[in-house]
Chain A
């Protein structure tokens, strides 16, 4: 007999008013067991127009972007602009522990649902606001897109080839840094509420979330007045020498760079051994004292002489061979995985990462991440595909105590 495992946050409820700036927050909370109710405007959330689409059909019920970040949520429609809509929303707030929103600063207040107003409905509510720059401060009213935000976070400046302009990650990222931060922030506020009974307002800035991790960048500036630039396909030293780190292989690319030190020496020696075993040994590499390699003062001539045989070798290898060698020979190299590779990946399979989720109206099942973490005690797991427009109106409004007649009347009035 299997024991039904419960979720950590069973019994809590979040109202999710976000657009694509904040979808991820509710997704994380839902996998932990929060009953997340996605509230869309009648007709559907604008996030449903973001591609890619199921079989490239730009239908609001077929956005893969929407699917990806709204799974496990229930979905209702509600016109927050209308008086009757506001009344229904107040009822909902009364049942909620968290409200997540990503309107422009001031919009919630304009709707009559600023933090103070929400507190009057539910004293200990936790409101999580996700905005491009934060609710206050000199840039709080600036317009933004992912490109602008990644630029203002310091991430963009460092990404790209040194001989070209900075280049952004094509998949919007600032919203995900912010959405994930919002989930952590919601839980910090929740912990405080459990201890004191006090709710609060969590203010998330997409710019700040994206700027939060810049590795050595900020200390290099503060300590050495050094501005780290773009590394691109090649790593550079402060003297301008270049070392390749993205290497073409037979069916794609391998990532590797030569470093000295203990770890680097081991990897370089093992790589040379692998080359030798495959009949592509190179005398210079075999005899080179890798302990001496230091990118900071290696000449370009030396770097090229070391790199050339490695480049020739990698061209004869496949991605899979590189990964196998990384595992069996303990070499710090890795192939660049394609999306297909990831869907078929043996490590993800061993951990049962992908799970097929049924989309009955598409007559199909689509693989989704089953969970972001495993727990020995609780169930952490995706529970359903993203909601259709207004899919849970009857269910949620029924739970709220609205009669079938009042739901029908709200529907007729365009409120839901």
Chain B
């Protein structure tokens, strides 16, 4: 009889060389389900998220960034000076130890360190390498700085955001594409593990963040290819539903959504907001009429919502089966009872930040739920553990590497 492993990935070892958000977001699919994840960093050039606000008590510090820490639960940090041959040597030991090497630098960086796929394969023939660059390993854009706003604009996303009388708008969250490729990459990586276990063969997977972003706008791309049509900005209006908008609520910057997608919902909405004549008002009695008089309709609804909190609008309308919700700001999301019930945030004690909510998993698995087992790492926090426990170095060897400046 097989013994039950503790976690899904309790025997999976990942070495990660990453920059900014795409690395940790991909690693989360493994780290949150028990993989041993070692992130190679350097204090000589810390990840941009370590040096970005917010900082605990507004004091900048390499271990004080809430941005970095929020996304780094369950991962270890190994600091390596990759300009030092001994540092590169440790990286190669890590490759020999690992099942998976993940990287998302611009093409060339890993190869300059002698960590291209062919070299990795010589060290570890079964290695699976994931290269998740902005634009891929080949092509004219490969060296473009691939940060969020650039990728989103190149992928054409702002064409889909804005008002008819104004220009295109960036996605609010900025680096929107950062969360797209990690899902695709994780699925492919786990599939490659299955293939490796059946055949003994490793591989390199190259995924361009730019390309997976296009999967989120495919119908628009097909529309352009087939019908020659480009997106036309129309605010929150849609052709097949009205009312369908964001409405002002009581209070500063408080908003709700209402999206009526059928006649029954329209009747329920009329009943709920207490206008008995509204349902039979000839201006609004059919979808066609509501679309024709949408500005009037929106104004009428807003006169009702603006006297209420978004919570009250949501509860009143959901009670009668009308899709409506709070336009949640950061505080709302943080306190959202549904997201709380599903354990989206993991409060853990961080040695420099104190109690702090780390981001959890995006999903709930019935038999192997994600687990919060370790707070975000300080820079190099796991150097000794990784070198002596995982890579089998002696204490003397560890001290030598330290003294030689390889672990900076």
Say if A and B assemble together. Answer: yes
A interface with B by C-beta (< 8 Å): 8-9, 24, 28-29, 32-33, 50-52, 54-56, 64-65, 67-69, 115, 133-134, 136-140, 142-145, 147-149, 151-161, 164-171, 173, 176-177, 180-192, 194-198, 200-205, 207-209, 211-224, 226-233, 245-246, 248, 253, 255, 257, 263, 326-327, 330, 332, 334-343, 346-351, 353, 364, 366-369, 372-378, 380
In the assembled complex, 16 residue pairs joining A and B whose CB atoms fall closer than 8 Å, in A order, are A28-B187, A68-B219, A144-B325, A154-B329, A156-B327, A157-B172, A165-B236, A170-B238, A181-B362, A191-B193, A212-B362, A215-B173, A216-B52, A248-B167, A348-B139, A378-B195
Residue from A115, A145, A228, A263 with most neighbouring chain B CB atoms (10 Å): A145
B16 within 8 A of A: no
What does the 1/0 interface line of B243-262 toward A look like (CB < 8 Å)?
Answer: 01111100001011101010
Which residues does chain A contribute within 8 Å of B324, judged by CB atoms? 143, 148
Contact B212 A372 (CB under 8 A): yes
Contact B326 A55 (CB under 8 A): no
Tell which of B36-44, B200-208, B275-283, B289-297 binds the partner: B200-208
What does the 1/0 interface line of B167-201 toward A look like (CB < 8 Å)?
Answer: 11111111110111011111110111111010001
Report Cα–Cα, A218/B31, bound state, in Å: 21
Contact A187 B190 (CB under 8 A): yes
Contact A213 B337 (CB under 8 A): no
B286 within 8 A of A: no
Contact A255 B150 (CB under 8 A): yes
Contact A233 B167 (CB under 8 A): yes
Residue from A24, A182, A231, A342 with most neighbouring chain B CB atoms (10 Å): A342
What does the 1/0 interface line of B204-247 toward A look like (CB < 8 Å)?
Answer: 11111011101111111111111111110111101101001111
**Which of B143, B265, B318, B367 has a CB less than 8 Å from the CB of A200?**
B367
Which residues does chain A contribute within 8 Å of B246, judged by CB atoms? 147, 151, 156, 165-168
Which residues does chain B contribute within 8 Å of A50, judged by CB atoms? 219
Number of residue pairs across A and B with beta carbons under 8 Å?
Answer: 485
Taking chain A's interface residues, is the majority helix, strand, or loop, or is none over half, making it mixed?
Answer: mixed
What does the 1/0 interface line of B321-344 toward A look like (CB < 8 Å)?
Answer: 111111111111110111101101
Contact A222 B334 (CB under 8 A): yes
What does the 1/0 interface line of B350-386 toward A look like (CB < 8 Å)?
Answer: 0000001101001111111000000000000000000
Which residues does chain A contribute within 8 Å of B367, judged by CB atoms? 192, 198, 200-201
Contact B214 A342 (CB under 8 A): yes
Which residues does chain A contribute within 8 Å of B143, judged by CB atoms? 327, 330
- Chain B contributes a number of interface residues (CB within 8 A of A) equal to 153
Taking chain B's interface residues, is the majority helix, strand, or loop, or is none over half, making it mixed?
Answer: mixed
Contact A191 B8 (CB under 8 A): yes
Contact A217 B21 (CB under 8 A): no
Contacts known (A52-B229, A55-B227); A139 close to B338, Cβ less than 8 A: yes
The 6 closest A-B pairs by CB, nearest first: A158-B172, A219-B66, A339-B224, A213-B179, A159-B172, A180-B183
Contact A339 B70 (CB under 8 A): no
Contact A366 B328 (CB under 8 A): no
Contacts known (A144-B325, A219-B54); A202 close to B366, Cβ less than 8 A: yes
Apart from A69-B219, A197-B2: 14 A-B pairs, beta carbons within 8 A: A137-B342, A153-B328, A166-B172, A169-B157, A170-B160, A205-B364, A211-B333, A217-B330, A217-B333, A337-B155, A342-B214, A351-B136, A351-B208, A376-B204
B304 within 8 A of A: no
Report Cα–Cα, A224/B359, bound state, in Å: 17
Contact A28 B184 (CB under 8 A): yes
**Which of B153, B192, B344 has a CB less than 8 Å from the CB of A336?**
B153
Contact A183 B149 (CB under 8 A): no
Report Cα–Cα, A137/B29, bound state, in Å: 23
Which residues does chain A contribute within 8 Å of B214, judged by CB atoms? 342, 353, 369
Which residues does chain B contribute within 8 Å of A147, judged by CB atoms? 236, 244-246, 257, 259, 323
Contact A171 B219 (CB under 8 A): yes
Which residues does chain B contribute within 8 Å of A196, judged by CB atoms? 2, 4-5
Smallest beta-carbon distance B160→chain A, Å: 4
Smallest beta-carbon distance B388→chain A, Å: 28
The closest CB in chain B to the CB of A66 belongs to B219
Report Cα–Cα, A160/B248, bound state, in Å: 14
Report Cα–Cα, A214/B186, bound state, in Å: 19
Contacts known (A138-B337, A338-B230, A378-B192); A211 close to B327, Cβ less than 8 A: no
Which residues does chain B contribute within 8 Å of A230, judged by CB atoms? 172
Which residues does chain B contribute within 8 Å of A255, judged by CB atoms? 149-150, 153, 158, 170
Report Cα–Cα, A213/B171, bound state, in Å: 12
Contact A218 B359 (CB under 8 A): yes
Contact B225 A367 (CB under 8 A): yes
Which residues does chain B contribute within 8 Å of A165, judged by CB atoms? 236, 245-248, 255
Contact B187 A184 (CB under 8 A): yes
Smallest beta-carbon distance B182→chain A, Å: 8
B299 within 8 A of A: no
B166 within 8 A of A: yes
B156 within 8 A of A: yes
Which residues does chain B contribute within 8 Å of A224, judged by CB atoms? 54, 58
Which residues does chain A contribute within 8 Å of B157, judged by CB atoms? 169
B398 within 8 A of A: no
B271 within 8 A of A: no
Contact A217 B211 (CB under 8 A): no
Contact B206 A218 (CB under 8 A): no
Contact B207 A373 (CB under 8 A): yes
The closest CB in chain B to the CB of A225 belongs to B331
Which residues does chain B contribute within 8 Å of A188, judged by CB atoms? 8, 29, 33, 186, 190, 365, 368
**Which of B166, B170, B365 has a CB less than 8 Å from the CB of A189?**
B365
Contact B334 A221 (CB under 8 A): yes
Report Cα–Cα, A399/B185, bound state, in Å: 32
The closest CB in chain A to the CB of B148 belongs to A215
**Which of A64, A168, A226 has a CB less than 8 Å from the CB of B236?**
A168
Contact B223 A217 (CB under 8 A): no
Report Cα–Cα, A270/B84, bound state, in Å: 31
Smallest beta-carbon distance B322→chain A, Å: 7
The closest CB in chain B to the CB of A184 belongs to B186
